[in-house]
Amino acid sequence: MDERNRPIHTFQVCQVMEGHQNNWLVSEWVPRRAAQKVFVEVRFTLRDCSSIPWVGGTCKETFNLLYRESDAPLPPSTSASSSSTPATRPPAHFAKVDTIAADLFISLVDTIAADQSFTQTDLGDRVLRLNTEVRQVGPLTRKGFHLAFQDLGACIALVSVRVFYKKCPSTVRNLALFPDTVPRGDTSSSLVEVRGRCLEHAEEREEPKLYCGVDGDWLVPLGRCVCSIGYEEAHGRCLGCNPGFYKAFAGNIKCSKCPPHSSSPAPSAPVCSCDRGYYRAPSDPPTAACTRPPSAPRDLLVSINGSTLFLEWAAPADPGGRRDVTYVVHCWRCGGGAEGAGQCEPCEDDVHFLPRPLGLSSTRVAIQDVLANSNYTFQVEALNGVSAQANRRPAALNISISTAPAGASVVGLISRDWASQTSIALSWQEVEQPPSPILDYEIKYYEKEQKHLSYSYVRSHTAGVVVSGLRPSTLYVFHVRARTASGLSSFSVPAEFSTADKSPELGGPQGSVLVMVLAAVGGFSLLVILTLFLLITGRCQWWMNTKMKSKEQRRSHYQNGHVVPFARGKTYVDPDTYEDPTQAVHDFTMEIDPARIRIERVIGAGEFGEVCSGRLCSPGKQEVGVAIKTLKGGYTEGQRRDFLREAGIMGQFHHPNIIRLEGVVTKSRPVMIIVEFMQNGSLDSFLRGQEGRLTLVQLVGMLRGIASGMAYLSDMGYVHRDLAARNILVDEALVCKVSDFGLSRVLEDDPEASYTSVGEKIPIRWTAPEAIAYRKFSSASDAWSYGIVMWEVMSYGERPYWEMSNQDVILSIEEGYRLPAPVGCPLELHQLMLHCWQRDRRLRPHFCDLLSFLDKLIHNGLSESVESLDYPFFISVGDWLDSIKMSQYKNNFIAAGYTTLDSVSAMSIE
Ligand code: ACK
C-alpha cells in the first residue's frame, strides 16, 4: 500500500542480516527514440539500518543505478537475473550512473515489527515515506538501453521507475510553424536553432527562428511571417478577407472595406474592382476611390487684343471625383472673307499658345499670332487622370471668333546688308502706308537644305535684323512678316542668303585674305586722312570719337566683331620695339631729382623691390603724396630694363582712371618709379575690408571707372593682359585706376590683331580661354578679365572660382560653366559679366559699350533700372542664349513670347 493506502506492486529486497549481498534487477530494453539524453525517475522506500534491531555492519542504506547501451535487447542471461532467481554474478558491461540514497527514511517512533515487510498496513506509528530521485543518463548513441539496480545489502522497495526525455514541442509563433525539436544531448547547454515555416497564406518578412533550450523550452523568437495580400490574421492563422473587403498589401493589417465606387464579390480580394463607368488612373493606389472623367468646362469666353486672343473658362461642374483636371485647347482656322469661308484647318502649329495648348492646369490661355481676317474656332476639353481609360471623347466646349481684316502685305523685298560666318544682317522696306501701326516684325528662317527639320524665329522692332548663331557656309531662307495691332500680315516673298565661308588659316570673321587686305588698306587710308584732318584742325581730341559715336556706329562696330576704333588718336608704343628700350623711358617719362622725394614708409613689396609712400615737392606746386617703387640693389641690366619698362608704358597714358606716372629716378641709386599715391591701396584688399558696406551705386561707379580706363587703353591699342582687382588701385574718393603694366604688350595695328606669345605665366582665373590655350591676347581677352573684375567687385573681393584648382577652372570653362551672380548682384550686371565671358571673343562687348551700359545703369537709377534699360550688346534674345550656351532654347523663348531682353529680365522662376 502506498502512503495513501492504495495497493502498489514493488520489487523489494531486505537481506540485511547476511553479509556479501549483490542483488541485481535489470529492466527491459528501452528504445532510445529521438532522445540523446534520458531522465530516470526512481520512486522507492528504504529503511535506515538503525531502525532494524540486531543488524550489524552488513546493513546498507543505498543502492546503485546502472545502464548499458545496445542496438537490440540483450539476451536474458546477460541482461539480468530474474526477480525469482537472484543472480550471483553481476551482469557484464553496465556503467554506473549513481549511488542513490534516500532523502527521507521511514521514521520510527515505535519498535519495528518482526517480519520486516513494507507492505504491511499495520505499521502502528510508523509512517511510510516514498523517495523520488531523478538522474540523467547519456549522451546516448545506440538504439536503446537497459537500466539496472544493484543492491549490496539494503532494505529497499522499488515502487516505480519512469524513463523519459525532454523536447521542445511543435509550436506556432508569429505565423510560423516550428516542428518538435529535441535539445542537444551533450553536456554543453548550447541551444538548437530552429527555422520556422510560414503558415498557409502567410509570407516571410524576416526569417522566423526559435531556439530550443536543454529543458525543452522555446527561447528567443526572431523574425516573422505576415498574412499575404487578400488575407488577414485571426486566431494565429491567415484567413481570407470577406466579400466587400480587400487587402492590397501583405502585412499584419486588417482587410479594409472597398473604397467608394468599387466592390469585391469574392473572398480574399487583393483589390476591389471599379464599378461600371468608374476607373482608377495607373498612378492611383488601390486604396483610392474609383473616379470618372470630368464634365465639360463652363462659361468659355474669348477676347482679342491685336494679334493675341485670350480664352477663359470655368472649371467643370463635376471634376469626376479627382483633383487633377487639366485642359487641352484645339484650334481651327476657317479662312477669312468670302473665298476661304467654310474650309477649316487645324491651326495649333501656326499660332503660339501661352503657356501651351496641352496639359493646362489654369483656366486661361493666350493665343498669339492669330491671322487677321480669319474665323477661328477653339475647343476646350477637360481631362483628368482617368480620361484616357474612359473610351469616349472628353467633354468639351467650343467657341468661335472672327479676327478683323489686316491691311495689305507690309514687307517689301528683303536685302542682305552683310554676312559673316555665323551672322547675316538683313533689312527690308516697309510699304509706304501700313494699314495699322506695325508693332514689330517676325523673321522666320531655316537652313535651305534641312527645310523640314526646324524653323527658327527672331523678332525685330525695326526694318532690319542681324540673325546670328548661324552655321558658316550655309544657305538660309528668310521670310518676314509684320505684326500690327490687327494681327499678323502674311509672310514676305522668301529670300535666300548664305553665311560666309570658313577660313581656319586666317581665323578672322571675314575669313578671307582679300577682306583682310582691304581692311588694312582701308585702315591705312583712314589713318592718312585722319592725320591730315588733325593737322588742319590742330586738335587732338581723339577720344571724343568714342563718346560721340552714335549708337548705330557702335552697333555696326559690334556686329562686325572687334575692330579697331573707327578713328584712333594716339597709339601706344611698345618700348620693346625701340632699338634701345631705355630710350622709351626718356621719351615718355620725366627724370626727377631725388632731392624732391621724401620717402616716409614702406607700404609693400613689389616684384623688383619695396614699395614706399612719401611726398614729392615740385617747384611752385603743392607737395603731393606719391608711391615710390624701388629697384633693389644688385640688379642685373635686364632687371633694370624690365623695371623701367613699366614706367615707359605708364608714361604714355594720361587718363583719370589710369595710374599717373610722376616720373622716374634713373640717374642715381636707388632707381625709382614715382606714381600718384592711392590712399585705399589695391582694390581686392580694399573690397575685402568693406564687405557689405558699399552701396550699389558706389560699386557700379568703381566698375565704371575701370571700364573707362580700359576703354582708353584699348583705344590706344594697348592690351593689359593682367586686369584683376589686385591690379586696380583705389584713391580716397573711391576712384579706381588701372595699374601694373608689367605684363602688357602692344596691340598691333591689325584690326583683328592680337598675337601669340610663348612661355609666360598666365593668371588663369582672370584670363580668357583663347589666351590660355594659344596666347591669343586682345582687348577681347581684356574684356573677359574685366568680367572677372566685375565679379570680384560685386562679391567684395571673393576669389574667382573659390578654391577650385586652375585645372578645374579651365575644364569647367571649357564645359560652359560660368561664375554665378554674387549675392545681391543685379541681374543685368551678371548678364553683362556673362557677355564678357562669351567663348567667341568677337561677341564680347567693347569697353566703350561696357562704359555706356554702366553709364546708363547709373543714370537710370539703379533701383528701377531693370525695367528701363535696354541691352545694347545683345542684338536679340537668341544672341544672349548663344552667349550662355543655351542656343537650343531659342525657339522655346520665342514661342513663350520672350522676345526682348526686357521681358527676359522680368521673368519669374515659374
Ligand atoms: O594693397 P596695397 O595696400 O596696395 O599693397 C600693395 C603694395 O603697394 C604692393 O604693391 C601698394 N601700392 C602700390 N602702388 C600704390 C600706390 N600708387 N598708392 C598706394 N599704394 C600703392 C599696394
Q: 337 is in which domain, residue-wise?
A: 298-402
DSSP 594: G
- pLDDT top residue among 339 and 46: 46
User: What CATH number does residue 468 fall under?
Assistant: 2.60.40.10
The mean pLDDT of 36-63, rounded to a whole number, is: 86
Q: Which three cell numbers, joined as nine digits, stand for 1?
A: 500500500
What pLDDT is stored for residue 409 in this prediction? 61
595: which residues sit within 8 A by CB, 6+ positions away? none
pTM: 0.41
Q: Report whether pLDDT(121) > 50.
A: no
Name the residue of 660, 690, 729 whose CB sits within 8 Å of the most ligand 1 atoms, as the mutation to test its pocket. 729
Q: Which atom of ligand 1 is nearest to the CA of 603?
A: 8
The mean pLDDT of 100-104, rounded to a whole number, is: 72
Write the CA distances from 637 to 573, 590, 608, 648, integer angstroms: 22, 20, 13, 16
457: which residues sit within 8 A by CB, 6+ positions away? 442, 443, 444, 445, 890, 891, 894
Q: Which atom of ligand 1 is nearest to the CA of 611?
A: 8
Does residue 354 sit in the same domain as residue 464?
Answer: no
Instruction: For ligand 1, say whether the CB of 685 is within 6 Å of any of its atoms.
Output: yes
- C-alpha span between 767 and 788 (Å, rounded): 9
What pLDDT is stored for residue 557 in this prediction? 32
Burial 265-278 (b: 16+ CB within 10 A, else e): eeebbbbbebeeeb
The mean pLDDT of 671-698, rounded to a whole number, is: 94
> Which domain-ending residue is among 518, 537, 556?
537
604 annotated ligand binder: yes
Does residue 123 sit in the same domain as residue 212?
Answer: no
- Amino acid identity at 540: C
Beta strands at 245-246 and 237-240: parallel, antiparallel or unpaired: unpaired
Confidence of residue 192 (pLDDT cuts 50, 70, 90): confident
Does residue 709 sit in the same domain as residue 788?
Answer: yes
Specify which residues 483 forms β-bridges with. 440, 488
Q: Report whether pLDDT(5) > 90.
A: no
CA of 779 to the centre of ligand 1 (A): 25
Does residue 718 sit in the same domain as residue 844?
Answer: yes
Confidence of residue 527 (pLDDT cuts 50, 70, 90): low
- C-alpha span between 193 and 6 (Å, rounded): 46
Q: Report whether pLDDT(688) > 50.
A: yes
CA of 132 to the centre of ligand 1 (A): 108
Instruction: For ligand 1, say whether the CB of 336 is within 6 Å of any of its atoms.
Output: no
The mean pLDDT of 257-273, rounded to a whole number, is: 96
- C-alpha span between 618 and 86 (Å, rounded): 148
Please check whether residue 238 is in contact with residue 228, taking contact to mean a CB–CB distance below 8 angstroms.
yes
- Amino acid identity at 700: V
Instruction: For ligand 1, say whether the CB of 681 is within 6 Å of any of its atoms.
Output: yes
277 domain residue, yes or no = no
Please check whether residue 842 is in contact with residue 781, taking contact to mean a CB–CB distance below 8 angstroms.
no
- Range name among 191-195, 460-464, 506-510, 816-820 with the lowest pLDDT average: 506-510
Please check whether residue 465 is in contact with residue 445, taking contact to mean a CB–CB distance below 8 angstroms.
no
Instruction: For ligand 1, say whether the CB of 677 is within 6 Å of any of its atoms.
Output: yes
pLDDT tens profile 385-402? 999 998 889 999 999 888
**Ligand 1, atom 19: nearest CA belongs to which residue?**
678
Does residue 184 sit in the same domain as residue 157?
Answer: no
CA of 645 to the centre of ligand 1 (A): 19
6 domain residue, yes or no = no
Instruction: For ligand 1, say whether the CB of 682 is within 6 Å of any of its atoms.
Output: yes
Tally of helices (H runs) and strands (E runs) in the chain: 17, 46
- Among the listed residues 151, 284, 715, 722, the single catalytic one is 722
549 domain residue, yes or no = no
Q: Report whether pLDDT(129) > 80.
A: no
Other C-beta atoms within 10 Å of 365: how many?
20
- pLDDT top residue among 897 and 769: 769
Confidence of residue 85 (pLDDT cuts 50, 70, 90): very low
611 annotated ligand binder: yes
- Range name among 27-31, 32-36, 713-717, 881-885 with the lowest pLDDT average: 881-885
607 annotated ligand binder: yes
347 domain residue, yes or no = yes
Instruction: For ligand 1, say whether the CB of 884 is within 6 Å of any of its atoms.
Output: no
Q: Which atom of ligand 1 is nearest to the CA of 685?
A: 1
Instruction: For ligand 1, say whether the CB of 678 is within 6 Å of any of its atoms.
Output: yes
Does residue 155 sit in the same domain as residue 178?
Answer: no
**Ligand 1, atom 15: nearest CA belongs to which residue?**
627
Residue with cell 487639366: 326
Q: Which three cell numbers, joined as nine digits, stand for 91?
A: 551482469
Nearest Cα residue to 431 out of 482, 487, 466:
482
DSSP 821: P
Name the residue of 603, 658, 677, 683 whose CB sits within 8 Å of the most ligand 1 atoms, as the mutation to test its pocket. 603
DSSP 737: E
Q: Which alpha helices (H) appear in 421-488, and where do they start and end?
A: none
585: which residues sit within 8 A by CB, 6+ positions away? 575, 644, 645, 647, 648, 651, 664, 666
Other C-beta atoms within 10 Å of 219: how many?
12
Residue with cell 574718393: 733
Q: Which atom of ligand 1 is nearest to the CA of 681?
A: 4
779 domain residue, yes or no = yes
Does residue 862 sit in the same domain as residue 906?
Answer: no
Domain count along the chain: 8
260 domain residue, yes or no = no
Name the residue of 599, 611, 690 whose CB sits within 8 Å of the most ligand 1 atoms, as the mutation to test its pocket. 611
User: What CATH number does residue 718 fall under?
Assistant: 1.10.510.10
Instruction: For ligand 1, say whether the CB of 675 is within 6 Å of any of its atoms.
Output: yes
What pLDDT is stored for residue 756 in this prediction? 35
The mean pLDDT of 338-360, rounded to a whole number, is: 78
**Ligand 1, atom 12: nearest CA belongs to which residue?**
681
Q: Which three cell numbers, joined as nine digits, stand for 712?
A: 582708353
Does residue 29 sit in the same domain as residue 97?
Answer: yes
What pLDDT is stored for residue 334 in this prediction? 80
> Which domain-ending residue is among 484, 504, 524?
504
CA of 742 to the centre of ligand 1 (A): 15
608 annotated ligand binder: yes
Confidence of residue 406 (pLDDT cuts 50, 70, 90): low
CA of 739 to the centre of ligand 1 (A): 10
User: What CATH number does residue 22 fall under?
Assistant: 2.60.120.260
CA of 833 to the centre of ligand 1 (A): 27
188 domain residue, yes or no = yes
Confidence of residue 89 (pLDDT cuts 50, 70, 90): low
- C-alpha span between 749 and 743 (Å, rounded): 19
- pLDDT top residue among 606 and 301: 301
- pLDDT top residue among 824 and 789: 789
What pLDDT is stored for residue 627 in this prediction? 97
**What does the CA dihedral 622, 627, 632, 637 come to, rounded to 10 degrees?**
-80
773 domain residue, yes or no = yes
What pLDDT is stored for residue 468 in this prediction? 85
Does residue 33 sit in the same domain as residue 104?
Answer: yes
Cα–Cα–Cα angle for 8, 9, 14, nearest 5°?
115
Other C-beta atoms within 10 Å of 723: how many?
29
**Ligand 1, atom 21: nearest CA belongs to which residue?**
681
Confidence of residue 117 (pLDDT cuts 50, 70, 90): very low
Is 684 catalytic? The answer is no
Does residue 664 sit in the same domain as residue 743?
Answer: no
> Which domain-ending residue is among 402, 430, 462?
402
Does residue 707 sit in the same domain as residue 816?
Answer: yes
What does pLDDT average to over the chain?
81
Nearest Cα residue to 415 out of 460, 473, 469, 480:
480
- pLDDT top residue among 779 and 877: 779
User: What CATH number does residue 648 fall under?
Assistant: 3.30.200.20
Q: Which three cell numbers, joined as nine digits, stand for 4?
A: 495513501
Cα–Cα–Cα angle for 38, 44, 45, nearest 5°?
160
The mean pLDDT of 830-850, rounded to a whole number, is: 94
Confidence of residue 702 (pLDDT cuts 50, 70, 90): very high
What pLDDT is stored for residue 605 in this prediction? 83
Q: Report whether pLDDT(37) > 60.
A: yes
- C-alpha span between 862 and 858 (Å, rounded): 6
Does residue 615 sit in the same domain as residue 700?
Answer: no
- C-alpha span between 477 and 450 (Å, rounded): 10
